Amino acid sequence: MYAFQLWREYKLSIAEIVALFPTTRIEYVDSCICILDTQNRDEVTKKLQNIWGTIKCIELFSNYTWNVSASISKHAEDFQGKFRYGFSILWDNKNLKWILIETKKTLKDNWISSRFINKDFKNLSSAQIIWENLTLRGTDFTLIISSNNTHYFWKTIWVQDIESYSKRDYGKTRDMEVGMLPPKLAQMMIHISWWSKIYDPFCGLGTVLIESILMGNSEVYWSDISQENIEKTKKNIAFTQENFFNTLKVSGVSVLDAKEILTSPYIKKCDSIITEWYLGQIFQKYSVTEKKLAIEKKELLDIYTNFFEWLKKTKFQWNIVICFPFWDIKGKYFYFSDIYAILEKYTKIVPLLPKLQNIHHTRSWSLLYKRDEQIVGREIFKLKMK
Ligand SMILES: C[S@@+](CC[C@H](N)C(=O)[O-])C[C@H]1O[C@@H](n2cnc3c(N)ncnc32)[C@H](O)[C@@H]1O
């Protein structure tokens, strides 16, 4: 079995895992961990290369005897030189100090020279695990205590390399006015859609396209109402090809108002639309009011209605993964509920999560993404045209 430690927006992380392992049984899931019942290490390690909603992946030990120090000590017998290791407990780690001391003592009793790298008896961060090379050594251990008090234990096989992640983002043209889709979210949306030939009709700065190229995609299409943003996207894609991957073989680009999607040459070429819609103007924390929001929604609704009405006429049958805005005014969420009627009229909403006892979609079958300090959040849907 493999345990996936989930990212902050854990529901999206679960949706990504489920999209990548559609036929694998979920052994256990909560807001921090998703455990998959699979023995296929090759499949897991391959998929981890592009997974972004998971912070760390732990291979679980099927013969765990409820004795951390004995298990670690047994494992250490095969190592040459000083045994350097880390140990974390998810989530209630009040016994961490005690177990670390106990393990050190057991190792010493077995004549094994060792050092744990936990600082101040705290769980290890991804950066510490990477820095100390513990994944390659196979010496970062985690005890997971589930809400029903089942214990799962063994070693980390992968951690997300945050540094290389920010490096690939570096150099991209940024523009706060356009509003950039967070790359992590873009990647998860691509996995959720089951990507292949992606079309983004609101390309902005091209985040969706770039992330799909970085995942090895060879065919992308994009359009936007703004010539300027089209050019920025071209520049960002060129940067990606020069500095990272150059797998792109087929592409297409036009200036196009999404209200006229019927005239887009890419609808017939792509097999998924993945897009963050125009989220509307950038509101400031103290200037946003319900009245301003109502005006904004009216304008957005006009674009959205036309888009779906005309898309229906194209008989587009593939997956659509899309974000709509919602707003946080002084702690209260205002959803773009007017859009729900349009979705109802033209689309079928595809659930992003399987049926789980403890974790659910929103009432409108979407999942949410929002940073604490942001006024605009994103409501994510997977759709098919009716
Ligand atoms: C928030 S950005 C999209 C971000 C983009 N998906 C990304 O991955 O970076 C919104 C984009 O919608 C474009 N836009 C606004 N109204 C539009 C319309 N009617 N048709 C097409 N594009 C439009 C804007 O020019 C802007 O580039």
Write the pLDDT tens digit of every residue in 69-124.
999 999 999 888 899 999 999 977 888 999 999 999 999 999 999 999 999 999 99
Query: What pLDDT, on the 0 to 100 scale, is given for residue 188?
Result: 92
Query: What pLDDT, on the 0 to 100 scale, is given for residue 342?
Result: 95
Atom of ligand 1 nearest to the CA of 205: 9
CA-closest residue to ligand 1 atom 10: 278
Listed range (63-67, 118-122, 336-340, 347-351) with the worst mean pLDDT: 63-67
Listed range (219-223, 238-242, 269-273, 278-282) with the worst mean pLDDT: 278-282
The C-alpha atoms of residue 38 and residue 45 are separated, in whole angstroms, by 12
Write the pLDDT tens digit of every residue in 152-180.
999 999 998 776 666 655 455 554 444 57
Query: What pLDDT, on the 0 to 100 scale, is given for residue 63?
Result: 67
Torsion of the alpha carbons at 203, 370, 334 and 361, rounded to the nearest 10: 100
Q: Provide the 10 A C-beta neighbour count for residue 200.
A: 26
Atom of ligand 1 nearest to the CA of 303: 19
Query: What pLDDT, on the 0 to 100 scale, is given for residue 163?
Result: 67
CA-closest residue to ligand 1 atom 27: 204
Query: What is the whole-number distance in angstroms between the Cα of residue 373 and the centre of ligand 1?
Result: 22
User: Which one of 195, 202, 203, 257 would you pick to mutate in the ligand 1 pocket, going by the greatest count of ligand atoms within 8 A of its CB?
Assistant: 202
Query: What is the whole-number distance in angstroms between the Cα of residue 66 and the centre of ligand 1?
Result: 54
The C-alpha atoms of residue 284 and residue 373 are separated, in whole angstroms, by 11
Query: What is the whole-number distance in angstroms between the Cα of residue 382 and the centre of ligand 1?
Result: 19
Query: What is the whole-number distance in angstroms between the Cα of residue 127 and the centre of ligand 1?
Result: 35
Using CB distances shorter than 6 Å, the residues near ligand 1 are 178-181, 186, 200, 202-208, 224-226, 229, 257-259, 275-276, 278-279, 303
Query: What is the whole-number distance in angstroms between the Cα of residue 238 and the centre of ligand 1?
Result: 20
Which of 268 and 164 is assigned the larger pLDDT? 268
Model confidence band, residue 191 (pLDDT cutoffs 50, 70, 90) = very high
Give every CB contact of residue 312 below 8 A, 6+ residues apart in sequence. Answer: 346, 385, 386
Query: What pLDDT, on the 0 to 100 scale, is given for residue 215?
Result: 86
Query: What is the whole-number distance in angstroms between the Cα of residue 224 and the centre of ligand 1?
Result: 6
- CATH tag for 170-385 (out of 3.40.50.720, 3.40.50.150, 3.40.50.300, 3.40.1370.10): 3.40.50.150
Query: What pLDDT, on the 0 to 100 scale, is given for residue 282?
Result: 67
Query: What is the whole-number distance in angstroms between the Cα of residue 386 and the centre of ligand 1?
Result: 24
Query: What pLDDT, on the 0 to 100 scale, is given for residue 82?
Result: 92
User: Which one of 278, 282, 376 would you pick to mutate in the ligand 1 pocket, going by the greatest count of ligand atoms within 8 A of its CB?
Assistant: 278
Mean pLDDT of the 358-372 span: 94
Which of 35 and 249 is assigned the larger pLDDT? 35
Listed range (11-20, 62-71, 248-257, 280-289) with the worst mean pLDDT: 280-289
Mean pLDDT of the 288-295 span: 81
Query: What pLDDT, on the 0 to 100 scale, is given for residue 290?
Result: 81
Residue whose pair of structure tokens reads 């690939």 in the numeric block: 168
The C-alpha atoms of residue 267 and residue 258 are separated, in whole angstroms, by 12
Atom of ligand 1 nearest to the CA of 180: 9
Mean pLDDT of the 144-148 span: 91
Query: What is the whole-number distance in angstroms between the Cα of residue 383 and the centre of ligand 1?
Result: 19
The C-alpha atoms of residue 370 and residue 11 are separated, in whole angstroms, by 12
User: Which one of 207, 208, 225 would you pick to mutate in the ligand 1 pocket, going by the greatest count of ligand atoms within 8 A of its CB?
Assistant: 225
Mean pLDDT of the 140-147 span: 93
Query: Strand, coil or helix: what is 141?
Result: strand
Tokens standing for residue 57: 């992946």
216 sits in which H/E element: none
Query: What is the whole-number distance in angstroms between the Cα of residue 210 and the centre of ligand 1?
Result: 15
Atom of ligand 1 nearest to the CA of 275: 6
- CATH tag for 2-160 (out of 3.40.50, 3.30.160, 3.30.2130, 3.30.930): 3.30.2130
Query: What pLDDT, on the 0 to 100 scale, is given for residue 170?
Result: 46
Query: What is the whole-number distance in angstroms between the Cα of residue 302 and the centre of ligand 1?
Result: 14
> Does residue 332 carry a pLDDT above 70?
yes
Domain ranges of the chain: 2-160, 170-385
Query: What is the whole-number distance in angstroms between the Cα of residue 322 and the centre of ligand 1?
Result: 12
Tokens standing for residue 59: 């291979």
Residue whose pair of structure tokens reads 């120090």 in the numeric block: 69
What pairing do the DSSP bridges indicate for beta strands 33-36 and 2-6?
Answer: antiparallel
Phi, psi for 319 (deg, rounded to 5):
-75, 145
Atom of ligand 1 nearest to the CA of 233: 9
Query: What pLDDT, on the 0 to 100 scale, is given for residue 176?
Result: 46
Query: What pLDDT, on the 0 to 100 scale, is given for residue 254?
Result: 92
Query: What pLDDT, on the 0 to 100 scale, is given for residue 344?
Result: 95
Mean pLDDT of the 186-213 span: 90
The C-alpha atoms of residue 289 and residue 324 are separated, in whole angstroms, by 19
Nearest Cα to Cα of residue 19 among 57, 60, 55, 47: 47
Which of 161 and 260 is assigned the larger pLDDT? 260
CA-closest residue to ligand 1 atom 4: 204
DSSP annotation string for 289-356: -HHHHHHHHHHHHHHHHHHHHHHHHHT--SEEEEEEEEEEETTEEE--THHHHHHHHHEEEEPSS---
With a pLDDT cut of 90, the percent of the chain lying above it is: 65
